[in-house]
């Protein structure tokens, strides 16, 4: 395509965290980039842009998906949820509170992707065992914690019925 | 005096972190979250050749790319990073020759990263290839050529032999020769590296944001390279998504971005993508140790010779050429926890056409431990003894402290034997041996591996530079809350909590009332930053000292107001009161109010305000943490895959500031150790192309690769203030060696002794097949 | 790592989609995008336009039609893994789908996308070959049926034309054959180092279909020996013929074949 066309944008309507956003995007823009840089929802992080690390995971219609492997134009008509959308106006959600209580984060960069993934897990399976938690977590790389306290936090949140 | 009187409420407690709320709510601000109106983004054109002359760079088509603002090369940004002492300079954009794949050659500035990458594709660099230097043995002899034409490839050589080594070595009844090898690995922080710079038109100063471990270190380097006075540079380190040593280095991109902001008069940002990271973040490890060990009939190691060769890649990082750091640490700590009276060391570090080597958590510690524990395993096997018995024969005992090693270190007291026995108990070593024998009959191969480690911490020299002290600034605000600032560079270690714990205890206030600032050269006192496991010990010492000084002011004021002797005043729960008479007290916040706004009530010799800055340098050049890691693994000899079934870490880092945080550090280090032992390897092909340029190729441990770990704390206080020892690296020093030995133990029936990390599954299959054919 | 610029079309019907693919040279269909978008981000795929199949109704259904199980190309791996009809009629397919990537990848990645991408290390192409599935390829010219066993040409190469969409697959309902699946990967969720699907018929004949040890799925018919040593020799002889990356992969091919065989008999192959 020609250079002029290259920078053509198209209008999309995105539904993110219950809010409607109308904006112009280039078709090639990744959902992660649009969430972060157009909508200012910077909790979603970008770590590899090939779907491996899981830092950019968001919920699309309630299911965890990689926002680096989805174009923003494709998200039209879907309900996208980021960590901002899972966070109460004040304080922490029960899962977030369990993460703090169990020291389930260090640098915090992978944490939002892990929170949305574990939130989805607990909605599908409110009482997972450790193996189930680890399997669901295995698509999110954390370089700091060695995962143990994350697993503990998720199991504790499940036990408390969140 | 006050330290002894103090009954700490927070220090040593499992305090949950003050940092967490913003991180969990998604409100933390990392480098890529910084956005300013008009901000431009850059992408680098990087060398696609390991070694080549640049014969031309055509930027015309790139300049015509929509969104592209500028394309610059060395001609436009002729800055160079000088590495004094090695006779080598590193142009921030390659001048006329490229020396590794990934070296920055040109920079494209555009209105978005998308457009910048469009521009990068259209920059045409012409190369005239040169034969790359890729093999460290050949590099020793300047073959096939010199990486830097003006100097030999060997840029560092050292020798150290203890007096009487030759006799001791010759007289020993047993000798073994072993070659240990560790391949290239790197930190892979989940947040990639990045930098943003913006001129402040009003003041003429430059503000530089950088994802880094040492704000003052970056400022000093930028000032030096660009010739800008330090007071005209403000370096801000925002939230950092992991560092692990790679973010302690000073990289050419930071000069380019800062120079661009100045040149263009606009805010400019660069955020590395993952491929750039794997190509250009400091690589770590990559050395060979040729070891000869002499020992007695009972397994006592009497002399060790180690010839070390380290591949530094193309350039020495300023202040920390990785291969030198690796080799020095590994050889210096070679005896580890063992009484080895004689040592003979030879170290050579060479340049090659690979990515520059720098620190990765543990630096030379992992290969040092691998040599140390691999030797023990080999000696035990040679003598037909249990490796634990050989350890017991050689371990430094409590009565030996302070112990001077053959390499000249003086170890402060530790719990070497105690930690080994505790680890063996945690995993029921005797019971394991029985289970192992039973399962072998069923064709299942389990193994038990141990590493007794010694971790030098809080060193006077480390990758954080040669700043053997830290400074802490503390101000009690007029309402009694506390603001502190330190020159540290936390990347997830929780300093805002641990430093607040220490300070709160000194001032008798709640930990939640202490805000710890860091990472801004405009507000933090000059400091070395975070690296070499120094922050808890040196920074903590500074926090204690500043806390004591501020406490003295509060006590003096309280004594004056309460008409009591200063030595009778206690501070606790936000109150200053006369010991034994809690009713005779005054709230600390009232003291603060008086100190600022009711100054007529101050003692005559007390100036207004409650501010102190204090510095702390530990009494020794290092304090030594220790511990023992033990691993149980199962090796599937059909597939070559290894599973870690059980793991114990007994850790002694002196007085604990926060056990929760210490355990988190241990867990993370063990996970990285599993990566180091089995998964992580940066591989080059014969042309010097890095083959592992994505996380599909450079494999990181996932939640399903890491077992549940058992952690036990021992506490042998250090002579440093507070009794703290650093502990950020010990778990990654110990884990690879423990895991390697566990695999060796599992495969002992096949005569396998692991000496090379990481272990690839195809190697295991080949070893087992070779043993079968040999039998 | 950002894609090159491209145009984007979102057809509402299959007919519209294939017309767009025909009208826009250099265009490429996108379904889940879990293989395509990484290639876009690395700029290894440089399409002029993307035709997004995700909103086309009817492509995400699973149903039994006569003696065949019909699965739409847009069915996500996680759906495939969990779907009652798949679990009932093709448990080995449900199991294989559960081995594809990680949860977040399975939630978006599609069957049709995986088959069209034809990564030699992917599970689903091999299951289709083993199962003798038939693919329904739709273009502006109409529909053609291509057996899975004729679809995969080699590394990332298939019979699918640039203007075609893989709309559905049909698998014969199982008939007394027992199946086993096994794979070896460095970490759970990684692409396989070697994988196999083993089928055993009541008359003692059977077949093994390998993946990740050649340019594409490799199926071999054989009479599987009952004796373990003989069988090991059988696997090794067959594996020796594979165009695998190295001896280790050929060795693993024999290992996974045996595991898959034992699983087909309902025995735990570890």
Residue A4 has a pLDDT of 46
Residue ranges, comma separated, of all CATH 3.10.20.30 domains in chain A are: 8-83
Mean pLDDT of chain B: 96
Surface-to-core class of residue C223, CB atoms within 10 Å of its CB (0-12 exposed, 13-18 middle, 19+ buried): exposed
**C86 CA to chain A: closest CA distance, Å?**
20
Residue B467 has a pLDDT of 85
DSSP string, C92-142: HHHHHHHTSS-HHHHHH-BHHHHHHHT-TT-HHHHHHHHHT-EEEEEETTE
> pLDDT band at residue B72, thresholds of 50, 70 and 90?
very high
Touching check for C193 and chain B: CB below 8 Å? yes
In chain B, which residues have their Cβ closer than 8 Å to the Cβ of C184? 639, 641
**C86 CA to chain B: closest CA distance, Å?**
27
DSSP string, B97-158: EE-STT-EEEEEEESSHHHHHHHHHH-EEEEEE------HHHHHTT-S--SSTTS-SEEEEE
Q: Which two tokens stand for residue B583?
A: 């009713």
Nearest CB among C10, C34, C50 relative to A51 is that of C34
How far is the C-alpha of B196 from the C-alpha of B218, rounded, in Å?
Answer: 13
Chain B's closest residue to C191, CA to CA, is: B696
Read off the pLDDT of each residue in C3-18 and give the average, rounded to a whole number. 97
CB contact (8 A) between residue A28 and residue C52 = no
How far is the C-alpha of B266 from the C-alpha of B42, rounded, in Å?
Answer: 12
CA dihedral B493, B495, B499, B500 (to 10 degrees): -110
The pLDDT tens digits for B209-238 are 999 999 999 999 999 999 999 999 999 999
How far is the C-alpha of B665 from the C-alpha of B498, rounded, in Å?
Answer: 13
Touching check for C251 and chain B: CB below 8 Å? yes
- C62-172: CATH, from 2.40.160.20, 3.30.450.20, 3.40.440.10, 3.30.465.10: 3.30.465.10
In chain B, which residues have their Cβ closer than 8 Å to the Cβ of C40? none
The pLDDT tens digits for C13-68 are 999 999 999 999 999 999 999 999 999 999 999 999 999 999 999 999 999 999 99
The pLDDT tens digits for B496-518 are 999 999 999 999 999 999 999 99
Residue B126 has a pLDDT of 98
In chain A, which residues have their Cβ closer than 8 Å to the Cβ of B187? 143
CB pairs < 8 Å spanning A and B: 183
Chain A's closest residue to B17, CA to CA, is: A100
- Count CB atoms within 10 A of the CB of residue A123: 12
> pLDDT band at residue C194, thresholds of 50, 70 and 90?
very high
Q: Which of B19, B22, B26 to mutate to test the interface with A (most CBs of A within 10 A)?
A: B26
Name the region of C140 (left: φ>0; alpha: ψ -120 to 50; beta: rest). alpha
Read off the pLDDT of each residue in B564-570 and give the average, rounded to a whole number. 96
> pLDDT band at residue B168, thresholds of 50, 70 and 90?
very high
CB contact (8 A) between residue C248 and residue B113 = no
Residue B552 has a pLDDT of 97
CB contact (8 A) between residue A106 and residue B32 = no
How far is the C-alpha of C101 from the C-alpha of B216, rounded, in Å?
Answer: 43
Collapsing DSSP to helix, strand or coil, B572 comes out as: strand
**B431: Cβ contacts below 8 Å, ≥ 6 apart:** none
DSSP string, B706-717: S--EEEEEE---
> pLDDT band at residue B463, thresholds of 50, 70 and 90?
low
Chain C's closest residue to A57, CA to CA, is: C104
CB contact (8 A) between residue A111 and residue B23 = yes
Nearest CB among A53, A105, A150 relative to B20 is that of A105
Strand partners, B576: B571, B586
In chain A, which residues have their Cβ closer than 8 Å to the Cβ of C41? 30, 49-50, 68
How far is the C-alpha of C201 from the C-alpha of B99, rounded, in Å?
Answer: 60
The pLDDT tens digits for B588-608 are 999 999 999 999 999 999 999
DSSP state at residue B413:
P
ipTM value for the complex: 0.97
In chain C, which residues have their Cβ closer than 8 Å to the Cβ of B696? 191
Helical (H) or strand (E) element with C216: none
Touching check for B13 and chain A: CB below 8 Å? no
Residue C176 has a pLDDT of 87
In chain A, which residues have their Cβ closer than 8 Å to the Cβ of B670? 146
CB contact (8 A) between residue C246 and residue B273 = no
DSSP string, C22-46: HHSTTEEEESS-TTHHHHHHTTS--
The pLDDT tens digits for B254-307 are 999 999 999 999 999 999 999 999 999 999 999 999 999 999 999 999 999 999
Of the candidates A29, A64, B696, A69, the residue with the CA atom closest to the CA atom of residue C119: B696
Read off the pLDDT of each residue in B702-726 and give the average, rounded to a whole number. 97
Q: Which CATH class is domain A8-83?
A: alpha beta
Q: Which two tokens stand for residue B437?
A: 């024998």
Helical (H) or strand (E) element with B236: strand B233-236
Per-domain residue ranges of chain C: 7-52, 62-172, 181-264
**C148 CA to chain A: closest CA distance, Å?**
27
How far is the C-alpha of B686 from the C-alpha of B681, rounded, in Å?
Answer: 16
The pLDDT tens digits for C167-178 are 999 999 978 899
Q: How far is CA C97 from the centre of its chain?
A: 9
Residue ranges, comma separated, of all CATH 1.10.150.120 domains in chain A are: 94-159
**A74 CA to chain C: closest CA distance, Å?**
8
Collapsing DSSP to helix, strand or coil, B571 comes out as: strand
Of the candidates B717, B723, B709, the residue with the CA atom closest to the CA atom of residue B646: B709
Q: Which of B271, B703, B710 to mutate to test the interface with A (most CBs of A within 10 A)?
A: B703
DSSP state at residue B38:
T
How far is the C-alpha of B524 from the C-alpha of B499, rounded, in Å?
Answer: 14
Surface-to-core class of residue B714, CB atoms within 10 Å of its CB (0-12 exposed, 13-18 middle, 19+ buried): middle
Residues of chain A with pLDDT below 70 are: 1-6, 162
Touching check for C16 and chain B: CB below 8 Å? no
Q: Which fold has domain C7-52?
A: 3.30.43
Chain A's closest residue to B190, CA to CA, is: A47
B window 289-318, beta carbon within 8 A of A: none
CB contact (8 A) between residue A105 and residue B23 = yes
Count how many residues are written for chain C: 270
Strand partners, B630: B450, B648
Nearest CB among B274, B705, B766 relative to C187 is that of B705
Residue C189 has a pLDDT of 84
DSSP string, B619-678: SSS-EEEEEEEEEEEEE-TTT--EEEEEEEEEEE-BS-S-HHHHHHHHHHHHHHHHIIII
Domain C181-264 part of CATH 3.40.50.261: no
Nearest CB among C101, C107, C189 relative to A63 is that of C107
**C234 CA to chain A: closest CA distance, Å?**
35
Mean pLDDT of chain C: 96
Strand partners, B44: B107
Residue A2 has a pLDDT of 52
Q: Which of C38, C103, C110, C114 to mutate to test the interface with A (most CBs of A within 10 A)?
A: C103
Residue B6 has a pLDDT of 56
CB contact (8 A) between residue B641 and residue C255 = no
Query: Is the separation of the CB atoms in B47 and B94 below 8 Å?
Result: yes
A window 30-59, beta carbon within 8 A of C: 30, 33, 49-51, 54, 57
**A95 CA to chain C: closest CA distance, Å?**
19
In chain B, which residues have their Cβ closer than 8 Å to the Cβ of A52? 694-696
Residue B7 has a pLDDT of 64
- Chains linked to B by 3 or more Cβ pairs within 8 Å: A, C
Q: Which fold has domain A94-159?
A: DNA polymerase; domain 1 (1.10.150)
**C40 CA to chain A: closest CA distance, Å?**
9
**B468 CA to chain A: closest CA distance, Å?**
25
Of the candidates B526, B470, B460, the residue with the CA atom closest to the CA atom of residue B495: B470
What phi, psi does C228 have (nearest 5°)?
-60, -40
**A87 CA to chain B: closest CA distance, Å?**
6
Chain B's closest residue to A146, CA to CA, is: B668
**C66 CA to chain A: closest CA distance, Å?**
33
> pLDDT band at residue B1, thresholds of 50, 70 and 90?
very low
How far is the C-alpha of C222 from the C-alpha of C196, rounded, in Å?
Answer: 14
Query: Is the separation of the CB atoms in B367 and B332 below 8 Å?
Result: no
Kindly tell me if the per-residue pLDDT of B143 is higher than 60: yes
**A15 CA to chain B: closest CA distance, Å?**
19
**A135 CA to chain C: closest CA distance, Å?**
8
CB contact (8 A) between residue C246 and residue B761 = no
- Count CB atoms within 10 A of the CB of residue B673: 34
Nearest CB among A7, A8, A138 relative to C102 is that of A138
How far is the C-alpha of B119 from the C-alpha of B214, rounded, in Å?
Answer: 32
Residue with tokens 């005569």: B751
Q: Which of A10, A66, A117 to mutate to test the interface with C (most CBs of C within 10 A)?
A: A66
Domain annotation for chain B: domains and CATH numbers: 34-130+191-241+246-280 (3.90.1170.50), 370-459+621-774 (3.30.365.10), 469-616 (3.30.365.10)
Residue C204 has a pLDDT of 87
Residue B3 has a pLDDT of 43
CB contact (8 A) between residue A111 and residue B32 = no
Nearest CB among A3, A26, A110 relative to B190 is that of A110
Touching check for C188 and chain B: CB below 8 Å? yes
């Amino acid at each position: 395509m020609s250079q002029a066309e290259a920078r053509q944008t198209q209008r999309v309507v995105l539904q993110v965290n219950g809010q409607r956003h109308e904006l112009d995007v280039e078709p090639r823009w990744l959902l992660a980039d649009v969430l972060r840089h157009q909508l200012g929802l910077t909790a979603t992080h970008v770590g590899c842009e090939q779907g491996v690390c899981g830092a950019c995971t968001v919920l699309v219609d309630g299911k965890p998906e990689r926002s680096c492997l989805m174009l923003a134009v494709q998200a039209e008509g879907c309900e996208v949820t980021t960590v901002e959308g899972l966070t109460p106006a004040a304080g922490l959600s029960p899962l977030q509170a369990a993460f703090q209580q169990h020291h389930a984060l260090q640098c915090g960069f992978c944490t939002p992707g892990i929170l949305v993934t574990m939130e989805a897990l607990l909605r599908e399976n409110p009482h997972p065992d450790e193996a189930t938690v680890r399997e669901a977590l295995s698509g999110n790389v954390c370089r700091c914690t060695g995962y143990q306290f994350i697993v503990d936090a998720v199991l504790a949140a499940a036990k408390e019925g969140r | 005096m006050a330290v002894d009187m103090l009954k700490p409420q927070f220090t040593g407690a499992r305090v949950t972190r003050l940092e967490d709320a913003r991180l969990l709510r998604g409100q933390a601000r990392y480098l890529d979250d910084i956005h300013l109106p008009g901000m431009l983004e850059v992408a680098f054109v990087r060398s696609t050749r390991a070694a080549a002359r640049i014969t031309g760079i055509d930027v015309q088509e790139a300049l015509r790319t929509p969104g592209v603002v500028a394309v610059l090369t060395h001609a436009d940004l002729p800055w160079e990073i000088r590495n004094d002492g090695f006779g080598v300079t590193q142009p921030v954009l390659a001048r006329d020759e490229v020396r590794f794949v990934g070296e920055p050659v040109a920079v494209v500035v555009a209105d978005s990263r998308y457009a910048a990458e469009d521009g990068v594709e259209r920059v045409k660099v012409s190369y005239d290839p040169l034969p790359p230097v890729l093999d460290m043995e050949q590099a020793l002899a300047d073959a096939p050529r010199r990486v830097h034409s003006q100097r030999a490839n060997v840029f560092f050589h050292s020798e150290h032999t203890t007096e009487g080594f030759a006799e001791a070595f010759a007289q020993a009844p047993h000798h073994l020769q072993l070659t240990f090898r560790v391949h290239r690995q790197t930190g892979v922080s989940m947040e990639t590296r990045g930098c943003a710079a913006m001129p402040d038109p009003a003041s003429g100063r430059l503000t530089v944001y950088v994802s880094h471990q040492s704000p003052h270190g970056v400022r000093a380097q930028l000032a030096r390279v660009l010739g800008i006075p330090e007071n005209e540079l403000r370096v801000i380190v925002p939230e950092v998504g992991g560092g692990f040593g790679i973010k302690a280095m000073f990289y050419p991109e930071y000069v380019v971005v800062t120079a661009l902001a100045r040149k263009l008069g606009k805010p400019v940002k660069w955020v590395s993508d993952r491929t750039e990271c794997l190509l250009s973040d400091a690589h770590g490890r990559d050395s060979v140790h040729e070891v000869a060990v002499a020992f007695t009939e009972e397994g006592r190691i009497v002399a060790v010779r180690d010839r070390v060769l380290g591949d530094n890649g193309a350039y020495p990082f300023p202040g920390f050429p990785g291969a030198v750091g690796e080799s020095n640490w590994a050889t210096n700590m070679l005896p580890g926890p063992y009484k080895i009276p004689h040592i003979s060391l030879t170290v050579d570090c060479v340049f090659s056409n690979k990515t520059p080597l720098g620190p990765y958590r543990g630096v030379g510690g992992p290969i040092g431990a691998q040599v140390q524990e691999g030797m023990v395993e080999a000696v035990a096997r040679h003598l037909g003894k249990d490796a634990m018995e050989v350890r017991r024969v050689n371990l430094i005992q409590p009565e030996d402290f302070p112990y001077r090693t053959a390499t000249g270190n003086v170890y402060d007291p530790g719990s070497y034997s105690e930690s080994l026995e505790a680890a063996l108990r945690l995993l029921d070593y005797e019971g394991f041996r029985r289970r192992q024998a039973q399962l072998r009959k069923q064709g299942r191969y389990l193994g038990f591996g141990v590493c007794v480690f010694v971790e030098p911490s809080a060193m006077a020299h480390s990758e954080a530079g040669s700043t053997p002290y830290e400074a802490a600034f503390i101000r009690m605000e007029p309402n009694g809350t506390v603001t502190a600032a330190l020159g540290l560079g936390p990347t997830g270690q929780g300093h805002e909590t641990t430093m607040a714990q220490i300070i709160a205890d000194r001032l008798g206030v709640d930990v939640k009332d202490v805000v710890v600032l860091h990472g801004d050269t405009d507000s933090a006192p000059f400091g070395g930053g975070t690296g070499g496991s120094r922050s808890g010990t040196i920074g903590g010492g500074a926090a204690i000292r500043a806390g004591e000084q501020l406490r003295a002011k509060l006590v003096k004021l309280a004594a004056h107001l309460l008409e009591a002797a200063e030595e009778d005043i206690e501070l606790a729960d936000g109150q200053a009161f006369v010991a034994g008479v809690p009713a005779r007290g005054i709230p600390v916040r009232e003291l603060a109010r008086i100190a600022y706004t009711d100054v007529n009530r101050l003692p005559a010799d007390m100036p207004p305000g409650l501010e102190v800055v204090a510095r702390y340098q530990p009494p020794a050049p290092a304090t030594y943490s220790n511990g023992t890691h033990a691993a149980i693994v199962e090796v599937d000899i059909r597939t070559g895959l290894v599973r870690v079934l059980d793991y114990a870490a007994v850790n002694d880092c002196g007085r604990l500031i926060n056990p929760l945080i210490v355990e988190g550090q241990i867990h993370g280090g063990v996970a990285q150790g599993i990566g180091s032992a089995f998964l992580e390897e940066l591989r080059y092909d014969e042309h010097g192309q890095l083959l592992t340029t994505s996380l599909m190729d450079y494999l990181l441990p996932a939640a399903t690769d890491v077992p549940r770990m058992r952690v036990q704390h021992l506490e042998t206080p250090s002579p440093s203030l507070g009794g703290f020892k650093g502990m950020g690296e010990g778990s990654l020093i110990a884990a690879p060696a423990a895991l390697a030995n566990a695999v060796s133990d599992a495969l002992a029936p096949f005569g396998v002794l692991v000496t090379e990390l990481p272990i690839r599954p195809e190697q295991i299959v080949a070893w087992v097949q070779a043993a079968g054919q040999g039998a | 790592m950002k894609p090159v610029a491209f145009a984007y079309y979102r057809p509402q019907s299959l007919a519209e989609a294939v017309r767009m693919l025909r009208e826009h040279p250099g265009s490429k269909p996108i379904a889940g995008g879990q293989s395509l978008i990484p290639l876009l981000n690395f700029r290894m795929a440089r399409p002029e336009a993307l035709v997004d199949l995700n909103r086309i109704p009817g492509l995400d259904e699973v149903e039994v039609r006569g003696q065949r199980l019909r699965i739409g190309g847009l069915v996500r791996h996680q759906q495939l893994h969990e779907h009652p009809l798949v679990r009932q009629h093709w448990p080995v397919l449900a199991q294989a789908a559960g081995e594809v990537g990680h949860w977040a990848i399975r939630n978006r990645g599609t069957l049709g996308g995986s088959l069209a991408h034809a990564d030699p290390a992917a599970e689903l192409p091999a299951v289709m070959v083993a199962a003798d599935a038939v693919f329904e390829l739709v273009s502006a010219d109409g529909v053609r049926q291509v057996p899975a066993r004729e679809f995969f040409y080699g590394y990332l190469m298939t019979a699918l034309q640039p203007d075609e969409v893989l709309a559905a697959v049909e698998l014969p309902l199982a008939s007394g054959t027992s199946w086993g699946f096994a794979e070896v990967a460095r970490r759970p969720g990684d692409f396989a180092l070697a994988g196999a699907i083993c089928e055993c018929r009541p008359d003692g004949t059977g077949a093994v279909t390998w993946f990740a040890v050649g340019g594409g799925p490799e199926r071999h018919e054989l009479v599987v020996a009952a004796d373990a040593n003989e069988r090991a020799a059988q696997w090794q002889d067959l594996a020796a013929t594979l165009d695998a990356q190295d001896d280790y992969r050929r060795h693993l091919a024999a290992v996974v074949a045996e595991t898959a065989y034992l699983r087909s008999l309902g025995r735990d192959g570890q």
